Amino acid sequence: QYWINEFTTSLGIGVFHSGIEVYGREFAYGGHPYPFSGIFEITPGDATELGDTFKFKEAIVLGSTDFAEEDIERIVEELGKEYKGNAYHLMHKNCNHFSSALSEILCGREIPRWVNRLAYFSSCIPFLQNCLPKEWLTPAALQTSVSQELQGELEEAEDAAATASLPSTSSSSNSVLPRSSHHAKR
């Protein structure tokens, strides 16, 4: 989605992912359809671990912390109770909200406002959210979309198996069907 920023940065908004790097580790937050922590760790500044739609922009020094590395582990674990994967929402509880909360705890300073400005504007102007596919907003909507897509493909495969004129085929259980992880990357 970084390509969107080529058009929107001049307006002072963009779609940005953020994480917090501390002690050589980067912590970030993302959505999934399950009720446990959505916080994950990646190699600092390595956007390739996030997928093709991400491009590293810059690192911004926010300050320093007095917390020890062991304290960071406990803080991140505690934040995981609030930042569950199924609580993710692109506009109301995203990676930038998490980064700002963690930064506030660690060094008493939030991330720069421009990083999450698009989410802020969309919460002030609700129709903006309606312009986006629901699958972008929450992991539950994404999961529903993927499930519906898989159900459609399963029905197509069953229809194809039923109409096939191969007498040795007795069941569709031998059919190879796509796994949901392949579709979640779209």
Catalytic position from the list 32, 89, 92, 95:
95
> How many CB atoms within 10 Å of residue 16?
23
**Any catalytic annotation for residue 17?**
yes
Amino acid at 47: A
Q: Is 107 a catalytic residue?
A: no
- Reduced to 3 states (helix: H, G, I; strand: E, B; else coil), residue 20 is strand
Residues, the chain, total? Answer: 186
The b-or-e profile of 47-56 (16+ CB within 10 A means b, else e) is: beebeeebee
Which tokens hold the place of 104?
């506030």
| Strand order from edge to edge, sheet including 25-29 | 19-22, 25-29, 39-42
Catalytic site residues?
Answer: 17, 95
